[in-house]
């Protein structure tokens, strides 16, 4: 399983399994920092990249339940200085990636911003405001959508995004998660590209990315999709087709920051630099698999698939 898929002398992965919100297994294999030889442990933290989106989406849905916004609102009602599309693109379209707003990365790249060029949330917004909508309609995944949703949260609550999400989601659930895109600490893994070069992020963007945590905490979070006062049934309302016909994703739909597969399981993958992450939740919502890796060459899929087969497809007796 995790042992056979990874090389203990290279950047690797940490993984965890939770059933009904209780951690039942965790392990880590690989090196957290090639310069020091420090090993990965189950306490090592990772940037979970796009898995951040499910927390942003949950925060937006909480605000809608409280009557403080509606997904039918246009983004221009909350963010000023947008092109004409700000008057037509709704929060629902942002949440479900049907806005057709391109990814801000391309514009920043054209402006000379590399991944390790310091940039702020304001820079990301400046890039988004310079974008023209893609032609066509329907699902088109873009991180710009969740950068904008983070701005909506700040406008509605009057609080920094990180503070609101922490106070509303992390703290009540007792989750050890931290929002700080540029966070550095001894217990955080170094991320590496395919040539084992460090890929430290210099972009301080949040909403689409920005959370550091461990797979154990992610696995515990997954139970919120089974029984929760924070993740309600409304997370699946308005889900749109996000699959590819003839491929493994056929029949998949994108809900509030997470995909619902044809078999009813939930999944989202993330990647930022050399950080890779996945959360997968069984169709009955009883079992959550969480994996995070710190190298582009780490075989994340083998780890996720092996754990899922053991704990969800072939459940241990009594579970």
- Indicate the pLDDT class of residue 314, thresholds 50, 70 and 90: low
Q: Which pTM was predicted?
A: 0.95
**What is the arithmetic mean of pLDDT over 124-151?**
97
Give the C-alpha distances (Å, rounded to integers) separating 271 from 39, 48, 261: 21, 7, 20
For the domain made up of 2-313, give the CATH fold: Beta-lactamase (3.40.710)
For 43-59, write each residue's pLDDT tens digit.
999 999 999 999 999 99
Looking at every residue in the chain, the average pLDDT score rounds to 95
pLDDT at 229: 83
**How far is C-alpha 71 from the geometric centre of its chain's CA atoms?**
20
| Token pair for 238 | 């308005």
What is the structure's pLDDT at 116?
85
- At residue 115, the pLDDT reads 82
pLDDT at 44: 98
pLDDT tier, 258 (very low <50, low <70, confident <90, very high otherwise): very high
Reply yes or no on whether the pLDDT at 121 is more than 70.
yes
pLDDT in tens, 181-213: 999 999 999 999 999 999 988 999 999 999 999
- Whether the pLDDT of residue 318 is over 60: the answer is no
In this predicted structure, what is the pLDDT of residue 316? 47
Q: What is the pLDDT of residue 104?
A: 96
| CA-wise closest residue to 96 among 122, 76, 72 | 72
pLDDT tens digit sequence for 76-89: 999 999 999 999 99
pLDDT for res 313: 79
| Whole-number percent of the chain with pLDDT over 70 | 97
Contacts of 298 (CB under 8 A, 6+ apart): 6, 10, 11, 12, 13, 30, 276
CB atoms within 10 A of CB 5: 20
Percent of the chain residues past pLDDT 90, beyond the cut? 91
The whole-number average pLDDT for the span 111-125 is 92
| Helix or strand holding residue 31 (H, E) | strand 31-33
**Neighbouring-strand partners of residue 241:** 253
pLDDT in tens, 144-179: 999 999 999 999 999 999 999 999 999 999 999 999
């Amino acid at each position: 399983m995790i042992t056979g898929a990874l090389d203990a002398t290279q950047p690797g992965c940490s993984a965890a399994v939770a059933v009904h919100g209780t951690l039942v297994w965790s392990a880590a294999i690989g090196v957290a920092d090639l310069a020091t030889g420090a090993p990965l442990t189950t306490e090592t933290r990772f940037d979970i990249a796009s898995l951040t989106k499910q927390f942003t989406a949950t925060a937006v849905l909480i605000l809608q339940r409280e009557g403080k916004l509606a997904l039918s609102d246009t983004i221009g009602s909350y963010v000023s200085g947008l092109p004409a599309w700000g008057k037509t693109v709704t929060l629902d379209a942002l949440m479900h990636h049907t806005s057709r707003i391109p990814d801000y990365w391309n514009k920043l790249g054209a402006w000379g911003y590399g991944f390790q060029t310091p940039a702020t949330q304001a820079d990301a917004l400046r890039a988004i405001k310079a974008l023209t909508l893609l032609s066509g309609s329907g699902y088109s995944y873009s991180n710009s959508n969740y950068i904008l949703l983070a701005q909506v949260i700040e406008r509605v609550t009057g609080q920094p995004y990180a503070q609101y999400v922490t106070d509303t989601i992390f703290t009540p659930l007792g989750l050890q998660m931290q929002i700080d895109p540029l966070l550095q600490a001894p217990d955080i893994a170094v991320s590496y590209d395919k040539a084992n070069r460090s890929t430290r992020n210099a972009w301080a963007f949040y909403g689409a990315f920005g959370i550091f945590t461990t797979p154990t905490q992610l696995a515990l979070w997954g139970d919120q999709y089974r029984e929760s006062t924070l993740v309600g049934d409304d997370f699946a309302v308005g889900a749109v087709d996000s699959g590819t016909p003839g491929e493994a994703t056929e029949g998949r739909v994108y809900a509030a920051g997470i995909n619902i597969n044809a078999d009813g399981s939930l999944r989202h993958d993330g990647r930022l630099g050399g950080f890779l992450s996945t959360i997968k939740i069984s169709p009955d919502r009883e079992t959550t698999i969480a994996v995070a890796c710190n190298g582009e060459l780490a075989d994340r899929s083998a780890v996720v698939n092996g754990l899922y087969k053991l704990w969800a497809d072939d459940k241990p007796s009594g579970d």
